[in-house]
């Protein structure tokens, strides 16, 4: 239960920190943090939570990451659904808190975006459905490779949160213009619930693409990490005696 609560808290912080930076600070008059600041905010949420709760839940904060780690042999299937539920609830609560804060400003209009992810007319740069699909698959694939590599027992110990946080920052720097960057179905859902309309209609892509990308990344890393000349046992095979 503590692991599930940790995932709730961590995902809450990711959405409030990252989407909050986008909604409240990105275009603030004269001293707005812009694209670079939003990208860094998302990276910092993961970095800080990785150190805070990584030893409790693994700090997934993302249904695609949980599924990818399962595909990579790092996470048990029986914990997938509770983790995903905790992450989505945490994201939705963060979306609610952000909505209350943002609506305190005169002229606030949630339909203008509210950091929701989108494609075509709702892409920040007007990118197509295909461009959004490829972007989200590839970015999530690379994110899983970074996560699995940084947390490998052979990697330098204690530095994984830095690599993962900076990796997410880089992903945002690349893809905010295309989709507003998801790579995380919970993050997309948490704000789409309050935008409604087009954000809900396009939400499917920000579940499907990150999950596909995460599984691809996990499979690629398992191939890369397997020692030369060693064949992985077939599923269900009995160990040799």
| pLDDT tens track, the chain, 241 positions | 899 999 999 999 999 999 999 998 877 666 678 888 999 999 999 999 999 999 999 899 999 999 999 999 999 999 999 999 999 999 999 999 999 999 888 888 887 779 999 999 999 999 999 999 999 999 999 999 999 999 998 888 889 999 999 999 999 999 999 999 999 999 999 999 999 889 999 999 999 999 999 999 999 999 998 776 545 444 444 444 3
H helix runs in 58-150, sequence order: 63-71, 80-102, 129-150
The Cβ of residue 199 has, within 10 Å, a number of other Cβ atoms equal to: 24
Question: How high is the pLDDT of residue 156?
Answer: 85
Question: How high is the pLDDT of residue 228?
Answer: 62
The Cβ of residue 133 has, within 10 Å, a number of other Cβ atoms equal to: 17
Residues 6+ apart with CB under 8 A from 229: none
User: How many CA within 13 A on the CB side of residue 64?
Assistant: 32
1.20.1080.10, 1.10.260.40, 2.10.240.10, 3.40.109.10: which CATH number matches 2-104+115-225? 1.20.1080.10
Question: How high is the pLDDT of residue 226?
Answer: 79
> Model-level pTM?
0.89
Nearest alpha carbon to residue 75 among 86, 91, 59: 59
């Amino acid at each position: 239960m503590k692991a599930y609560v940790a995932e709730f808290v961590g995902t809450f912080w990711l959405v409030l920190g990252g989407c909050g930076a986008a909604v409240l600070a990105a275009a603030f008059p004269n001293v707005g943090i812009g694209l670079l600041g939003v990208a860094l905010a998302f990276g910092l949420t993961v970095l800080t939570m990785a150190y805070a709760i990584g030893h409790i839940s693994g700090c997934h904060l993302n249904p695609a990451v949980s599924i990818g780690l399962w595909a990579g042999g790092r996470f048990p299937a029986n914990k997938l659904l509770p983790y995903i539920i905790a992450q989505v609830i945490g994201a939705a609560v963060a979306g609610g808190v952000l909505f209350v804060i943002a609506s305190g400003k005169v002229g606030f209009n949630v339909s203008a975006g509210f950091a929701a992810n989108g494609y075509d007319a709702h892409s920040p740069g007007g990118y197509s459905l295909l461009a959004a699909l490829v972007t989200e698959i590839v970015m999530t694939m690379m994110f899983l490779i970074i996560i699995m590599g940084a947390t490998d027992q052979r990697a330098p110990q204690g530095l994984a949160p830095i690599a993962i946080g900076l990796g997410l920052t880089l992903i945002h720097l690349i893809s905010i213009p295309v989709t507003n960057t998801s790579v995380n179905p919970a993050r997309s859902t948490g704000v789409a619930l309050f935008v409604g309309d087009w954000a809900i209609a396009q939400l499917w892509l920000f579940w499907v693409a990150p999950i596909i990308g995460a599984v691809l990344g996990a499979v690629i890393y398992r191939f890369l990490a397997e020692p030369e000349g060693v064949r992985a046992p077939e599923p269900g095979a009995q160990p040799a005696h």
